[in-house]
Structure 1
Amino acid sequence: MALFIVLLVMACQGKPPQETGQKEADCPMVSQGRNQSCVPKTIDRLVTLDGAVFEYAIALGLEPIATVPSNFQTQLPALMTNAENVQNIGKGEQPNLEAILGANPDLIVGLDSHQSIYPQLSQIGPTVLFPFEHSGQWKEVFASVGNALHQQAATQSALAAYQARSTDFRTQMGDRLDNLQVSVIRLYPDGINLYLKDSFAGTVLQDAGLARPPSQNISAVEAQQKFGNPIQTRISVKYWSKLTEM
């Protein structure tokens, strides 16, 4: 019934934005994965479908008008000037189509995990979904988002600032880096996971020059083959107790 209502309202609104005769110069076409859509050069009403793309948009100097809750939503006042006006459009795995339609977006951006609802999203507004296999690809995906959203300069500036901080950390640590190994763990209700080399945290540690224990210095390809997960693996509480005693 909810989907029927969305489709009915869209039908009443007429043609979607990419069929309204916009000049290609104002809304150039962008190919991403299996899809192609126009991305307006001036983005005023951006909707993001997940926390990662929301945070990328903020880093690029854009301010989404609607998004699913971000893991860092408590920090929004420090990140955005109009944080209190950002509309919640539901859960990351199932954004609310009616809410997205009501936001009247001029661009919808997300990850390809939302591919199943792309046909509905693209009827609401221009939609771009980015491939994102695991968190260790964050720099590549960030660059793809920046390029697609015509924010190349902001993308390069943000990545350069990140690299500068990594280099500064290495410089200040100096020889002390030679004697350090860093573990990254995540506690779940039913167990403990180790984050591996190609996780988000793992890539940051690599850039900072911090070594990992051999058991965690495993690439995404090897981890997928061994554990069925490219970025983390489960360990027993008994094994963790031994590690903390060493």
Structure 2
Amino acid sequence: MLLSGVMVPAPRRAAPRHRIRGGAVSPVRVLVTLAVAGLVSAGCASMSTTPVDSDGVPRSTTRIVGAPVLGVDREPGDACGPEAPLDPGASPSLDAERIVAVGYSALDTLCALGLQDRVVAVAPPAGTAPLRYLGGWAAHAPAVGTAEDPDGSAVQAARPDLILVDQQDAVDAGLGAPRTRTVTVPTAGPWEVTVESVAQAVGRDAAARAMIGRFTDTAATTGHDIAAAQTQASVARFTSDSLGILGPSSFAGQVLQQVGVHRPPAQRFSSPSVRPVDGDDLAALEGDVLFLSFAGKDSGDADAGGHTPALRHGEEVMDSDAWTSIAVTENRTFTVDDGVWSRGRGLVAAREILDDVRGSLNAYG
């Protein structure tokens, strides 16, 4: 087990358990266990090249708190697509050259459309890590206050011709000059609505719809190829002081539904999108596999995010008897990029979740 950057002996655990269905061991669970066990072995073997974080503490980018990390081979610099052309017949006035984003919800779509270089400033949600999965431009964009309290003077100084505001932040529409367009971006409901709203604001609705259509087809094909419907996947996230289940209405939950992955009975709630896990009762986490993220902790070559408060909280919980008592922790837990699974909302993140699912459930392919 990797605990706070130091390798310590893992606690002795019982042999992996498989539920009995109709008096027989589920072959799906056996295949998942074998597949993940292979990845665990591979992760252990790769720890000889463990990098050193900025505080000088060695950390592994292939395993976090004993769980294999998905997505470490992705290149954030390659996340954005080529620039999509303006839709035929669209007004040239929609072709914004200078864009300010208040909140993060528009960034993924702008990246997918290849318009990331037009983002001149961002007002990020307070206390949140940047969306590193989109590349350096998203992490280093000039800040103009926070999404909850944007700096109007700084926004105007950026000279935007389009301001995209997350619906949940409900800021004053007069942030820019009097003639600056301000568009509200939906942050709830189907994630495709968010994408289409941003795309319409920049005159590229047809391009975005075509991308969504291709993703939908790919997700369905992938789900069929890996027999996703035979899997019940649990999805959870640690913060600095809580553990929550990401339900079917969350962004990650919606993408899993498109792939055809089922959720355990305890996680089939319609609202809210995230439901807290109560104390030491972790039974709701059970499933064939568990996709687990830590707030502010992302995948990548530099083990992005460092040793976050959420990771420290996760270490404490995952070293407890309550955690080791649930079957899904026996070599069937994957760590995923928090930006992608928990804070992303768009085509780039959806594609990366699909890659993670394909890579972890390919025992069925």
Give the TM-score, by structure 1 length.
0.68
Matched, 1:239 2:290: no
Amino acid across the alignment from 2:99: L
The aligned residue for residue 207 of structure 1 is 258
Aligned residues of 2:109 and 2:198 also touching (Cα < 8 A): yes
The aligned residue for residue 42 of structure 1 is 95
Match of 1:66 among 121, 125, 140: 121
Higher share in helix:
1
- Report deviation, 1:84: 8.4
Q: Secondary structure at the match of 1:215?
A: helix
Summarize deviations over 1:20-43 as a string: whole Å, max 9, x none.
Answer: xxxxxx996xxxxxxxxxx92221
- Report deviation, 1:50: 1.2
Match of 1:137 among 171, 190, 197: 190
- Report deviation, 1:171: 2.8
Cα RMSD, aligned residues only: 2.8
Matched, 1:54 2:135: no
- Report deviation, 1:214: 1.3
4+ residue segments displaced more than 6 Å: none
Q: Secondary structure at the match of 1:87?
A: coil
Question: For the residues of structure 1 that align with 2:94 and 2:175, how far apart are their CA atoms?
Answer: 23
The aligned residue for residue 22 of structure 1 is none
The aligned residue for residue 40 of structure 2 is none
Q: Which runs of 5+ in 2 are unaligned?
A: 1-88, 287-324, 328-365
Question: For the residues of structure 2 that align with 1:115 and 1:125, how far apart are their CA atoms?
Answer: 17
Question: For the residues of structure 1 that align with 2:207 and 2:229, how far apart are their CA atoms?
Answer: 34
Higher relative contact order (CA 8 A, sep 6+): 2
Q: Which runs of 5+ in 1 are unaligned?
A: 1-25, 29-38, 224-229
The aligned residue for residue 19 of structure 1 is none
Please show how residues 12-161 of structure 1 align to structure 2 within 5 Å.
40-63=93-116, 64-69=119-124, 71-77=129-135, 86-121=141-176, 123=178, 125-132=180-187, 134=188, 136-161=189-214
Aligned residues of 1:131 and 1:141 also touching (Cα < 8 A): yes
Summarize deviations over 1:37-92 as a string: whole Å, max 9, x none.
Answer: xx9222111111111112222222222121134855434447x6xx6873222322
- Report deviation, 1:100: 0.8
The aligned residue for residue 6 of structure 1 is none
Amino acid across the alignment from 1:231: S
Q: Secondary structure at the match of 2:268?
A: coil
The aligned residue for residue 4 of structure 1 is none
The aligned residue for residue 352 of structure 2 is none
The aligned residue for residue 226 of structure 1 is none
Q: Secondary structure at the match of 1:91?
A: coil
Summarize deviations over 1:122-163 as a string: whole Å, max 9, x none.
Answer: 63722111343x3x4321121122123210222123212321
The aligned residue for residue 220 of structure 2 is 167
Question: For the residues of structure 2 that align with 1:96 and 1:27, how far apart are their CA atoms?
Answer: 31
The aligned residue for residue 240 of structure 2 is 189
Aligned residues of 1:109 and 1:128 also touching (Cα < 8 A): yes
Aligned residues of 1:61 and 1:154 also touching (Cα < 8 A): no
- How many residue pairs are counted as aligned between the two chains? 195
The aligned residue for residue 227 of structure 1 is none
- Report deviation, 1:189: 2.4
Summarize deviations over 1:157-200 as a string: whole Å, max 9, x none.
Answer: 321232133123113213xx343101111112222111111111
Give the TM-score, by structure 2 length.
0.48
Question: For the residues of structure 1 that align with 2:90 and 2:169, how far apart are their CA atoms?
Answer: 23
Question: For the residues of structure 2 that align with 1:187 and 1:108, how far apart are their CA atoms?
Answer: 32
Question: For the residues of structure 2 that align with 1:101 and 1:27, how far apart are their CA atoms?
Answer: 26
